[in-house]
Amino acid sequence: MSILRQMLFLLVLAGLGYGGYVGYGKWQESQNGQQAGAAPQRGGGGPAAVKTVKAGERTLVRTVEAVGSARAVQTVEIKAQSDGNVVEIAYKPGERIEQGAVLFRLDDDIQKADLAQARAELVKAEQALERGKSLRQSRVVAAATLEELEAARAAAQAQVSRAERRLADRTIRAPFAGTPGFHTVDTGAQVDTDNVLTDLNDLSSVLVEFAVPEQYFAIAQPGLVANASTAAWPGRAFEAAITEVSTAIDPVSRSFIARARIANDDGALAPGMFMRLSLELATTAAVMVPEEAVTVEGPAAFVFVVNDGKAERRTVKTGGRQPGWVQITDGVKSGEEVVFSGTSKVRPGGAVKVVNAEAAAAAGSTGATQ
């Protein structure tokens, strides 16, 4: 191919390329023009259909959930006060007994004999003292001798008291009214003061200790009431009254310990039972809206308020929550109409059509308190 033909071929290729570039530019401009013309057409549609409700005041209950284990209001391990053989077990496990009731008896033959001897020695000492007093009146006995006789009588009385105590220790009694557990020994067993014979629990009421977050330290005070429940009694609620609150806060968990007391007249609760508690800390009147009305974008939250048929976007601050409702601490006032359904179709400043104003207002008024 000659040089002239090569040059002509290159010129033709260049012309085709330039023509394609110009044509593509004009096509792109036409596409942009169509899109620009279509936008006003979408924006010019009818108002968005929404459902609204009036923001209203509801009773906001501040609660904290906690768990704990029940324990007897009083509990003690029963041990013997002296060594000996068990001759009687005088109670039935699980049956409530009164204070002073006999639980165990140990053999007491030796203690009874010791008491009899001590009483005999006391009689001798008293008789000697009486003779000494008679002789002292006739000045036959010196005053010092009479004092010695009085001391001997006091010593004999002390021996009787000790012997009576040793005999009483052979009978093991309940230190308070309660429910004893299983006995760990049987009749005839040899026991000493280290053996735990049984335990005694006062179950007229039970105590539950549980942790409360530090933020509620100023609110959780004695006198508050919690609702308690346990898996052993599904569907049953127990009233737990706060009786004590710890004055120290755990630096690791950032919580403090509270103690609640639950009446247990029917014996439904047992030591060690797992308890769930819902502690009502405070009730306040708060402006609240349905959860569906609040849209969250990152750290911010907003709602749409309807004014004169248009949607106004409001940034709000939220607070406490209740099932289906959110507290608004700033951004919306009680009585303002808030969109809770159809928010995805609403644009700031856009026209809206409220399709259930009456029904929603009625729903908002009936749910204003709880």
CA atoms 227, 262, 272, 222: torsion sign: positive
pLDDT of residue 351: 85
pLDDT of residue 23: 60
pLDDT of residue 150: 87
Whether residue 12 has pLDDT greater than 70: no
How far is Cα 48 from Cα 45, in angstroms, rounded to an integer?
9
Structure tokens of 266?
């029917």
Task: Please give the residue that has the higher pLDDT: either 5 or 281.
Answer: 281
User: pLDDT by residue (tens digit) across 185-236?
Assistant: 999 999 999 999 999 999 999 999 999 999 888 888 888 888 999 999 999 9
How far is Cα 115 from Cα 249, in angstroms, rounded to an integer?
56
How far is Cα 157 from Cα 163, in angstroms, rounded to an integer?
10
How far is Cα 87 from Cα 268, in angstroms, rounded to an integer?
33
Alpha helices in the chain (DSSP H): 3-43, 109-137, 143-168, 357-366
Exposed/middle/buried for residue 177 (C-beta within 10 Å: 0-12, 13-18, 19+): middle
C-alpha angle 61-288-319 in degrees, rounded to nearest 5? 65
The amino acid at residue 201 is N
Per-residue confidence at 17, pLDDT binned at 50, 70, 90?
low
User: pLDDT by residue (tens digit) across 90-132?
Assistant: 999 989 999 999 999 999 999 999 999 999 999 999 888 887 7
Contact indicator for 352, 346 with CB cutoff of 8 Å: yes
Q: Which helix (H) or strand (E) holds 90?
A: none
User: pLDDT by residue (tens digit) across 32-48?
Assistant: 444 434 334 344 457 88
Q: Domain residue spans in the chain? A: 48-59+285-366, 64-70+202-284, 108-169
Contact indicator for 240, 222 with CB cutoff of 8 Å: no
Structure tokens of 84?
């000996």
Average confidence (pLDDT) over 310-327: 83
Topology classification of domain 48-59+285-366: 2.40.420
Contact indicator for 271, 206 with CB cutoff of 8 Å: yes
Structure tokens of 128?
């000697």
Contact indicator for 50, 303 with CB cutoff of 8 Å: no
pLDDT of residue 369: 36
Average confidence (pLDDT) over 46-56: 83
Whether residue 133 has pLDDT greater than 80: no
pLDDT of residue 7: 63
Percent pLDDT > 90 in the chain is 43
CATH superfamily of this structure's domain 108-169: Helix hairpin bin (1.10.287.470)
Exposed/middle/buried for residue 364 (C-beta within 10 Å: 0-12, 13-18, 19+): buried
Rg, Å, the chain Cα set: 45
User: pLDDT by residue (tens digit) across 230-262?
Assistant: 999 999 999 999 999 998 999 999 999 999 999
Tell me the residue length of the chain.
Answer: 370
Write the DSSP string, 9-28: HHHHHHHHHHHHHHHHHHHH
Topology classification of domain 64-70+202-284: Elongation Factor Tu (Ef-tu); domain 3 (2.40.30)
Our measurement of the distance from residue 251's CA atom to the centroid of its chain's CA atoms, rounded to an integer in Å, reads: 19
Tell me the backbone φ, ψ of residue 159, rounded to 5 degrees: -65, -40
Considering the chain, what is the average pLDDT of its residues? 82
Contact indicator for 257, 233 with CB cutoff of 8 Å: no
pLDDT of residue 292: 85
The amino acid at residue 13 is L
SS3 188: coil
